[in-house]
Structure 1
Amino acid sequence: MHTSAQFDNKIALWKQEMELPWSKLKYKLVQSNLAKYLGQNQMRVLDAGGGNGLDSVPFAGQGHFVDLVDYSQEMLADARQRAAQVNAQARVATHLADVRDVSKLFPDLQFDLILCHNVLQYIDDVPTLMRAFSGLLKPDGIISVVSINRYSAPYHAAFLDGNFAEAGNLLNSHTSRTKIFDTNIVSYSADEISEIMNSFGMITEKDYGIRCLCDYWGDNERKSDPGVFEQIERLEFALTELHPYKLLARFFQIIARKV
């Protein structure tokens, strides 16, 4: 498991990255996919490893209650500020803790929705975490998991970095390196994670590909052109649920329901 210091030291760089069009697109795709499975009732939402609340604060803005767990004090402070900007600070509770301790944090509470976005690549024991989530999810509750797709790693190395030797090494590896946080990460396929989730009673409704095309077109200057990116965005929304295109997306999203 990685330490909070590794993330705190890179937060400024991460925030810059989140302002880029393709980072914003990722959140738009994830939110659009998830919305298909949510009703109109008020929800209790757990954002596990939720950082500064980019995924969960919008739910608080819609009237839902959010518990956001992260081990970066700076990220949590940013989340509280973000909640205040949408007058939702009373509906966002932040918890400074390791995501692996979620069961201890909420021994008598269950959630309608759990978000686990961009966390698994930093976790040593995914089955144990999924077991904890299953215990915290209400019957018929929804969980959304987003993580780096391991099938994308060789393409990412080849197309974006021009590193063909590394692309070859990644063909049979689950481990790669993230530039922003400068640390090793472990990536999985959607099928691998779905199998684990299903074993704990969180049955996959559907899996999606997030950014099926954008990451493999490495011309950031052209991608920054609003007219060009509008065309990319339309394609991404069309591709997100289409097999086999979603299999090579940079990220996968799994939507599952507790039985």
Structure 2
Amino acid sequence: MPDPMRPRAALRTAVVWEVLQDALDRRVKATGRQALDVLDAGGGSGNFAVPLARLGHHVTVVDPSPNALFALERRAAEAGVAERVRGVQGDARGLFEVVERGGHDAVLCHGVLEYLDDPAEGLGNVVAALRPEGVLSLLAAGLGGAVLARALAGHFAEAHRALDDPNGRWGSGDPVPRRFTAEQLTGLVESAGLRVGAVHGVRVFTDLVPGVLVDTEPGAHDALLKLEAAAAELPAFHAVATQLHVLGEAGGTDGA
């Protein structure tokens, strides 16, 4: 449920929301429970947690930042879902110091793996928070999108450096510690014991299109949303996406 008052934000998250909501709808049908238990690891101020709570789910957000958790509490209260959102301070490495192991129908891990010293260990902890046949929503920075963006900005040496760097970094000023290919992310998900249900490219075009065009050209916003959705599932576009989304499924087919 992207925020209709934030069109650029909606463009950046629409593909993820569509995949995630479909997965949660299937879990609702499989469990017979309208309200699922969702863990948002590194969920910050609640960009996903609050809309999920508005859908009726119970969401626990684990984040190391007290400021983000304060913003989450305020945001949940303003949305009228404070009773369905719980924020706790912590991180992926010490996850089970603050939440239950194996106690969640779905786990979100968005924008987290890039910042972990050991992505495999962190993802393993996150996956261990799932109930049998739960689902993982994994979103991480894509290597190809960064290379393309640096090249289109005229920073060709930095684009080349990102292409060659083992962590996909374009230089010492790069704010992202590491980036991934689709193969690397799916490998991590499978190594954590999950089946890969789907892979999508996110923000394939959105970050490259001038904002003024989207905001002022009649019909441009909706047309770009449709284009992003059409390209998201095509492997050829995974290689140039700013972010990559992997849906991981535990214990079978999730009732599909």
TM bucket (normalised to shorter chain) is 0.7 to 0.9
Distance 1:32 1:66 in 2: 18
Q: Choose 241-250 or 61-70, whichever is displaced more.
A: 241-250
| Counterpart pick for 1:255 among 239, 247, 250 | 247
| Unmatched segments (≥5 aa) in structure 2 | 252-256
Number of residue pairs matched by the alignment: 238
| Unmatched segments (≥5 aa) in structure 1 | 1-18
% same residue: 27
Question: Is the Cα contact below 8 Å between 2:92 and 2:126 reproduced in 1?
Answer: no
| 1:151-200: CA deviation from partner (whole Å, max 9, x where unpaired) | 222101112x321111111111224269xx97342001122121122122
Distance 1:132 1:45 in 2: 15
Counterpart in the other structure of 1:71: 64
For 1:170, the aligned partner's letter is A
Classify the secondary structure of the residue corresponding to 2:239: helix
Distance 1:91 1:226 in 2: 39
Distance 2:36 2:178 in 1: 31
| Counterpart pick for 2:111 among 80, 98, 118 | 118
Q: RMSD value over aligned CA atoms?
A: 2.2
> Structure 1 residues 191, 210: CA separation in 2 closer, same or farther (over 3 Å shift)?
same
For 2:216, the aligned partner's letter is D
> Structure 1 residues 229, 205: CA separation in 2 closer, same or farther (over 3 Å shift)?
same
**TM-score, normalising length from structure 1?**
0.85
Counterpart in the other structure of 2:183: 191
For 1:128, the aligned partner's letter is E
For 2:137, the aligned partner's letter is S
> Structure 1 residues 78, 36: CA separation in 2 closer, same or farther (over 3 Å shift)?
same
| 1:108-133: CA deviation from partner (whole Å, max 9, x where unpaired) | 55110000011111111011112212
The answer to whether 1:24 aligns with 2:17 is no
| Counterpart pick for 1:233 among 225, 235, 252 | 225
| 1:1-24: CA deviation from partner (whole Å, max 9, x where unpaired) | xxxxxxxxxxxxxxxxxx864333
Counterpart in the other structure of 2:19: 33
| Counterpart pick for 2:84 among 91, 114, 123 | 91
Question: Is the Cα contact below 8 Å between 1:26 and 1:210 reproduced in 2?
Answer: yes
For 1:22, the aligned partner's letter is R
Distance 1:156 1:58 in 2: 30
Using the TM superposition, give the Cα deviation of residue 47 of structure 1 relative to its aligned residue in structure 2, in angstroms.
0.4
For 2:138, the aligned partner's letter is V
Distance 1:247 1:182 in 2: 20
Using the TM superposition, give the Cα deviation of residue 220 of structure 1 relative to its aligned residue in structure 2, in angstroms.
2.9
1:1-259 alignment runs, 5 A limit = 21-38=7-24, 39=26, 40=28, 41=33, 42-108=35-101, 110-159=103-152, 161-173=153-165, 174-176=167-169, 183-217=175-209, 219-225=210-216, 227=218, 228-259=220-251
- Give the ranges of 4+ consecutive aligned residues of structure 1 lying more than 4 Å apart after TM superposition: none
For 1:242, the aligned partner's letter is L
Distance 1:79 1:68 in 2: 9
**TM-score, normalising length from structure 2?**
0.85
| 1:70-99: CA deviation from partner (whole Å, max 9, x where unpaired) | 111111111111111221101111011223
